[in-house]
Amino acid sequence: MEVDRAEVLRYLRMGNVQPDAVLEARLASVEREVLAKIRPAAYWQLVPITGGETPTGELTYQVGPLALHSRKLWETLKGCRHAFLFCATLGAGVDALLRTCGHRSAADLVMVQAISTALIETYCDDCQIQMLSEPAVCGETLRMRFSPGYGDLPLETQRPLLMALDSARRAGITLMDTMLMMPSKSVSAIIGVGPANGQPTRHDCRTCGKTDCAFRKTEEET
User: What is the arithmetic mean of pLDDT over 77-82?
Assistant: 93
- Determine the Cα–Cα distance for residues 141 and 162; give it in Å rounded to an integer: 24
pLDDT for res 198 = 55
pLDDT for res 205 = 47
In the chain, the percentage of residues whose pLDDT exceeds 70 is 88
User: What is the arithmetic mean of pLDDT over 173-180?
Assistant: 96
Contacting residues for 188 by C-beta, under 8 A, at least 6 apart? 86, 87, 147, 148, 158, 161, 162, 165, 167, 173, 181
- Determine the Cα–Cα distance for residues 146 and 137; give it in Å rounded to an integer: 18
48 phi and psi angles, rounded to 5 deg: -80, 155
Q: How many Cβ atoms sit within 10 Å of the Cβ of residue 198? A: 6
In the chain, the percentage of residues whose pLDDT exceeds 90 is 77
For the cut 80, the answer to whether the pLDDT of residue 201 exceeds it is no
Give the residue extent of every domain in the chain: 41-91+117-207
Topology classification of domain 41-91+117-207? NADH Oxidase (3.40.109)
For the cut 60, the answer to whether the pLDDT of residue 15 exceeds it is yes
In whole numbers, what is the pLDDT of the chain averaged over residues? Answer: 90
Q: What confidence tier does 215 reach under pLDDT thresholds 50, 70, 90? A: very low
For the cut 70, the answer to whether the pLDDT of residue 62 exceeds it is yes
Q: What confidence tier does 54 reach under pLDDT thresholds 50, 70, 90? A: confident
User: What is the arithmetic mean of pLDDT over 19-42?
Assistant: 96
| Cα torsion angle, 182, 91, 126, 117, sign | positive
pLDDT for res 206 = 47
- Determine the Cα–Cα distance for residues 29 and 96; give it in Å rounded to an integer: 17
Question: In 3D, which of 173, 203, 1, 179 has the Cα closest to residue 87?
Answer: 173
How many helices and strands (H and E) does the chain possess?
7, 8
pLDDT digits (tens, 9 = 90+) for 117-133: 999 999 999 999 999 99
Whether the model clears a pTM of 0.85, i.e. scores above it, the answer is yes
